[in-house]
Structure 1
Amino acid sequence: MKVTVDEDRCAGHGMCLTLCPEVFDLTDDGWAVADPGDVPEGLESAAREAIENCPERAIRETD
């Protein structure tokens, strides 16, 4: 599983970082970014929770 953040939709709420800091980070400008690699085993549930709770629906799961 991989995740991506649509930078055009992200509003910098940081919910993803709160729910799954091992996968998500915020840039110096306050926008979310996702680790470009695979979500580590055992963190898939937390990453999906971040996807579901993103207020802007800016996070997508990819293969």
Structure 2
Amino acid sequence: MKATVSEDCIGCGMCASSCPEVFGIGDDGTASVIVDEVPDDAEDSAQEAADNCPASAITIE
């Protein structure tokens, strides 16, 4: 699975808090994906981050 964060990110940090294995907050204050592939043991938390993103900026495919 791959995760992406669109430019719609508002930088709330929810994703980095709920799934730090996949998401981080960059110097610009917005979220970024820090891995090429979502680890198997982080798939549920990555999907939860996408589902709960207030800006709907996260896609998991």
Structure (1/2) with the larger helix percentage: 2
List structure 1 runs of 4+ shifted beyond 3 angstroms.
none
Matches within 5 A, 1:1-63: 1-7=1-7, 9-62=8-61
| TM-score in terms of structure 2 length | 0.93
Gap runs ≥5 in structure 2 = none
| TM-score in terms of structure 1 length | 0.90
Taking only the aligned residue pairs, the percentage that are identical comes to: 49
Gap runs ≥5 in structure 1 = none
* RMSD (Å) for aligned C-alpha atoms: 0.9
> May I ask how many residue pairs the two structures share in their alignment?
61
